[in-house]
Amino acid sequence: MDTYERLWNGWRAAYVGSTPDQSVEAGSVFSAILQSGLSDDMTNIVHRGTLVFAILNAFPYSTGHTLVVPYRQVANLEDLTPAETSELWTTVTDAVRAVKAAYEPGGVNVGLNLGKPAGGSISEHLHVHVVPRWVGDGNFMTAIANTRTLPEALSDTAAKLRAAWPR
């Protein structure tokens, strides 16, 4: 039988159970980008739909890492309207097609991190990650130096994905 050491720290229950202030009025980085008036080229938005858009991750795990985001700032998947849900998943599918056409990855990760404890760095504004993957792309730089190596500028990636986006 395996044994595990436990460190009991009951004082953390209050912290873990607390809800941080996530005021919608403050706005997410996605809302700020949309309200900035900057062009899609400057913000690396690669697709705009009626209810959702696709934008490159500013801190990508790999080249082509795209985020599909509803225009309306909501934190939870279940808070989307049926129309937003439908367009979100259609756009995720189109993003996968564009990534595959532009980069021919060996695989693609698609996922959400809902809430801060799940790893959501922008948990107040739901977004779906579309991450192209290749065998061996988690090289020693990521493991040893906590650094990712990306072979092209985000503006070049955005241009490639816009060109590959399904019409």
Catalytic site positions = 127
Asked, for residue 135, whether it belongs to a domain, the answer is: yes
Asked, for residue 63, whether it belongs to a domain, the answer is: yes
Asked, for residue 21, whether it belongs to a domain, the answer is: yes
Asked, for residue 52, whether it belongs to a domain, the answer is: yes
Inter-residue contact 58 to 46 (CB < 8 Å): no
Asked, for residue 1, whether it belongs to a domain, the answer is: no
Residue 68 has pLDDT above 80, yes or no: yes
- The amino acid that residue 17 corresponds to is G
For 58, the domain range is 12-164
Read off the pTM: 0.80
Locate 76 and state its tokens: 């939870």
The string of pLDDT tens digits covering residues 71-83 is 999 999 999 999 9
Asked, for residue 3, whether it belongs to a domain, the answer is: no
The string of pLDDT tens digits covering residues 27-63 is 899 999 999 999 999 999 999 999 999 999 988 888 9
Asked, for residue 74, whether it belongs to a domain, the answer is: yes
Inter-residue contact 145 to 84 (CB < 8 Å): no
Domain count for the chain, please give it: 1
Asked, for residue 6, whether it belongs to a domain, the answer is: no
- For residue 68, give the 3-state DSSP assignment: strand
Inter-residue contact 100 to 112 (CB < 8 Å): no
Q: Is 15 left (phi over 0), alpha (psi -120 to 50) or beta?
A: alpha
Which CATH number covers residue 70?
A: 3.30.428.10
Locate 90 and state its tokens: 């259609």
